[in-house]
Structure formats: C-alpha cells, structure tokens
C-alpha cells in the first residue's frame, strides 16, 4: 500500500490502511522464516501436520505484530519521540490510529498469541509453555517497561536468540517433541540474517538513536563498525548454508538459498556508501527481502532433502 494514498477517514479501506502500517509488514519475514525452516525439517522427517503449522505460523506472526504495536505505543509515549522521523508506520504520530486503539490492538494480538501458546502447550508439553512465555516477555520488554531491552544494547542479542534458535528449534519441537542438533544448526543462518535486518535498521537510525539515548552497536561504536557487523552477519549466513551441505548435515538442495547472493550484493553498496537516513533506507528493505527469500529457499531445500 502506498503511504501517500491515504483512503478517506472512516472507510473500511482507511482502517485497513492504518492497521497495515501499524503491523509493519516489512518486519514479518522475521516471524515467518524460522517457522518455515523448523517446519521444513519436520516435513522431511514425515512429521507434517497442517494444523500445527498454521497455528505456529499464526502465533509467530501475532507475536511479531504485537511487538510492533507495543513499540509504536511506547515510542509515542516517550518525550524523545520528537527526534524521530515521521515514518509511514508511525500510525499514532500520523493520526491514523489513536494511542488507545494501538494499545488495544497490542492486547488483542498478545491475547491471541497466548491462546495459541496454551493450545500448543497442551499438544506438545511444558517446553512450549516456557518458549511462549519467554517470547511474549521478550516481545513486550523489548520496547516497554522502565528499561526497554532494545534501548540498553540488548536488541540484537535478543533478536538473534529468539528469532533464530528459539523459534526454529521450538517450531521443530512442536512436531517432533524433541530437540536435535540439526534443528539447532539450521537455526544459525536464520539468526544471523534476521539480526542483519536489525543491524541495517541501526545503521539507518544512528542519529535518531543517539538523540534518544538508545544504545546500539552503531551508536556505541559508529557506522564503520555497523557496516562491518552487517557484512559479517550476511557472509556468515551464506557460509553456514554451504557448511551444512559440505559437512553432510544437509543434502545439496540446501544450497538453494545461495542463489540469493545477488540480493546481498545489491544491498551491500547501500550499507557501505550510505551516509544518512535517506541514503541508508534501502539497506533495510533490501536486507529484509534477502532474509525472506533466503529463508523460503532454505526451507524448500531442507524439505527436499
């Protein structure tokens, strides 16, 4: 949806437009990819279950949307919000939704995700309860609370752990009721690439984050460090995909995501040459696209064996 063509207020299209941006759809690959990869491994082992797949995927996307809504509400409530650019997904500042509506949306999405977590706990056991509770807590305290975790330098570690090993291994566990080394190894390229999205975001937002007192690798060590970090995360992602096949852990089909290398090469010049927010904005979109295509192809390669 174009951010310039705002539908007439009060119409169904207006509400759809508002909640579309509030959900921040460009972030949803982070919730999609780990579920696809964990499910692909289970599928290859003959453990496919369409209902479980639908519930885990929906639960993961709901947690991601709830995180975005909490971030929007908490960000609007902070005094330093005046330093931030009026991005299309800033639905409160743009007057698309009220703070109350966003807060209600966060409660509803968290509630729906929790209901799914309860069902999956009944099906798969207490470990899923622990994962669900930890994920919901991380989603909330990432942006909210007296000391938001994303503001004190824990954003990237949290994303790496929860959107990588926790989600991939947790998804596989729902089907298999066990944790395997293969699921853990498959989660590592997923974790690296989703963290690269946040690294690109931190590069773009350095000035805003410094003005707001937010600690990120880029605000602490500068953009040169952030560029090296992004490059290392992407390079390790591709190296891990090759290593999974070279070591015999996966079949040759697992090399499928390597065909996304041109997407990485397309994003790299923006990361290395961009000097401010406008020139670095494409880096975030291109890294998110890379994450989505790499994850889908990795899942397909794993499923094909």
DSSP state of 164: I
Q: Say which residue the tokens 């773009």 belong to.
A: 204
Contact residues for 79 (Cβ-Cβ < 8 A; gap 6+): none
Largest CA distance in the chain: 58
Percent of the chain scoring above 90 in pLDDT: 72
Predicted local distance difference test score (pLDDT) of residue 4? 53
- How far is Cα 301 from Cα 305, in angstroms, rounded to an integer? 6
Give the three-state DSSP class for 226.
helix
Task: List phi, psi (to 5°) of 91.
Answer: -70, -25
- How far is Cα 292 from Cα 282, in angstroms, rounded to an integer? 15
Report all structural domains of the chain as residue ranges with CATH numbers, in order of start: 12-304 (1.10.600)
Range with lowest mean pLDDT among 132-146, 151-165, 266-280? 132-146
Give the tens place of pLDDT for each residue, 189-239.
999 999 999 999 999 999 988 988 889 999 999 999 999 999 999 999 999
Q: Say which residue the tokens 């330098």 belong to.
A: 153
Task: List phi, psi (to 5°) of 205.
Answer: -100, 20
């Amino acid at each position: 949806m174009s951010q310039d063509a705002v539908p007439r207020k009060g119409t169904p299209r207006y509400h759809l437009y508002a909640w579309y941006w509030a959900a921040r759809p460009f972030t949803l690959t982070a919730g999609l990819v780990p579920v696809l990869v964990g499910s692909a491994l289970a599928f290859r082992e003959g453990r496919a279950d369409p209902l479980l797949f639908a519930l885990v995927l929906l639960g993961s996307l709901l947690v991601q949307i709830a995180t975005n809504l909490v971030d929007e509400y908490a960000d609007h409530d902070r005094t330093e919000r005046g330093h931030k650019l009026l991005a299309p997904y800033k639905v409160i500042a743009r007057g698309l939704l009220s703070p109350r509506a966003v807060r209600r949306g966060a409660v509803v999405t968290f509630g729906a995700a929790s209901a799914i977590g309860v069902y999956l706990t009944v099906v798969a056991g207490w470990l899923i309860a622990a994962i669900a509770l930890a994920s919901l807590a991380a989603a909330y305290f990432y942006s909210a609370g007296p000391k938001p975790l994303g503001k004190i330098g824990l954003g990237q570690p949290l994303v790496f752990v929860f959107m990588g090993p926790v989600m991939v291994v947790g998804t596989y566990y729902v089907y298999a009721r066990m944790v395997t080394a293969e699921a853990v190894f498959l989660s590592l390229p997923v974790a690296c690439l989703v963290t690269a999205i946040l690294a690109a975001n931190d590069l773009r937002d350095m000035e805003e984050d410094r003005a707001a007192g937010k600690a990120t690798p880029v605000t602490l060590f500068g953009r040169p460090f952030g560029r090296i970090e992004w490059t290392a995360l992407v390079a390790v992602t591709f190296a891990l995909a090759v290593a999974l096949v070279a070591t015999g852990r996966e079949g040759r089909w697992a090399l499928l995501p390597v065909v996304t290398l041109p997407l990485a090469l397309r994003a790299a010049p923006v990361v290395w040459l961009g000097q401010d927010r406008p020139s670095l904005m494409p880096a975030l979109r291109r890294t998110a696209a890379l994450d989505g295509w790499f994850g889908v192809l990795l899942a397909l390669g794993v499923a094909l064996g």
